[in-house]
Amino acid sequence: MSDGAVARGGQLCGQSDHHHHGQAAPRLAARDDMVVGRARLALIIAATSELAAEARQREQAAGRPVIGEGALADLLATRVFDRELDRPIATDQPLALPDLANEVASTTRSLDQVRARPEYEQFRASRDRLALQEAVTAAQEKPRVSAFGRVGYGKPGLSMLSSEFQSYWLAGVQVQWTPWTWGSTDRDRETLEVQREIVTTNEAAFTQTLRRNVQQSLATINRLDSTLALDDRIIALREGIDRESRAKLQEGAITAADYVDRNTELLAARLARVQHRVELSQARANFLTMLGVEVR
């Protein structure tokens, strides 16, 4: 083989190696981008999973009750009635959550003045009854003056010796006074005073119990508000993950099963937010009902 042929062969080999390196460079760059994209997606998924785990821990710490399958079936089988129209609500009719945020806020500001529970009316009626009984007991010690009159016609009349029918009348003034009651009035007063103290103690105990329950209800409302804010962050991250996963699926970087998993996590986060919204409305309604405030 001549030197010219060897030179031409070396030149051709050099051109071939340069051509292969030129094709490999974009492939390596694409692979690097794919690796970086997967790493970034993994970091976002990990952060979102941590937020979701934190939300679950809050719910478990709050002791939120879980409805069993049997109880849920009973609830779904129950027909809900409209009290105003006196007819069952259609199953396909959308149910709107009541907006009770403003009413809860105004009630919370005047919490110490709220006395709408029927128990407070019962306590007031008991105090009024005891006041009337005390007035009756005090009246027993005072002199009582009364007038009386009687008109009649009979045989005999006022004269017992007469054998004829006679008309008669009789009138007078009667005075009654018991200056000495052998301590019965004082005992009645002591009994009424003890009953008044019992009513006051029962009212104070009821108020304390109601206040503790109200504080627990407010804590539940605040927890659900924080949970909903966390749900919004989780859903925003899940939506970003879903968009990136869709793009990776179109590029062939991930499998369809991986994309379905990411999309399922997004749907689960949205369902959790809807559930927390319902729980928040229920907690607000329970708070108002606990205080005796009518929920409209």
Q: Which of 158, 176, 194 is the last residue of a domain?
A: 176
Domain check: are 116 and 172 in the same one? Answer: no
Domain check: are 29 and 159 in the same one? Answer: no
Domain check: are 104 and 150 in the same one? Answer: no
Domain check: are 159 and 208 in the same one? Answer: no
The per-residue pLDDT of the chain, averaged, comes to 77
Domain check: are 244 and 198 in the same one? Answer: yes
Mean pLDDT of 48-57: 64
Domain check: are 25 and 85 in the same one? Answer: yes
Non-local CB neighbours of 220 within 8 Å, separated by 6+ positions = 62, 283
Domain check: are 133 and 1 in the same one? Answer: yes
Q: Which residue has the higher pLDDT, 152 or 158?
A: 152
State the helix-helix crossing angle for 184-251 and 118-139, rounded to 10 degrees: 170
Total structural domains within the chain: 2
Point out which residues pair with 168 in neighbouring strands: 152
User: How confident is residue 276, by pLDDT bands cut at 50, 70 and 90?
Assistant: very high
Convert the pLDDT of each residue in 106-151 to its tens digit: 999 988 888 889 999 999 999 999 999 988 888 777 778 888 888 8
Q: Measured between alpha carbons, how far is residue 224 from residues 27, 163, 168, 253, 293 in Å?
A: 49, 97, 87, 38, 21
Domain check: are 94 and 158 in the same one? Answer: no
Non-local CB neighbours of 213 within 8 Å, separated by 6+ positions = 290
Domain check: are 163 and 228 in the same one? Answer: no
Domain check: are 15 and 135 in the same one? Answer: yes
Least confidently predicted of 1-5, 75-79, 111-115, 190-194? 1-5
* Residue 181 structure tokens: 């009651």
- The whole domain housing 161 covers 143-176
User: How confident is residue 54, by pLDDT bands cut at 50, 70 and 90?
Assistant: low
Proportion of the chain above pLDDT 90, given as a percent: 38
Domain check: are 39 and 75 in the same one? Answer: yes
Convert the pLDDT of each residue in 217-246 to its tens digit: 999 999 999 999 999 999 999 999 999 999
Convert the pLDDT of each residue in 157-189 to its tens digit: 777 777 788 887 888 888 777 777 777 788 888
Domain check: are 55 and 128 in the same one? Answer: yes
- In the chain, the DSSP E strands lie at 81-82, 87-88, 144-154, 166-176
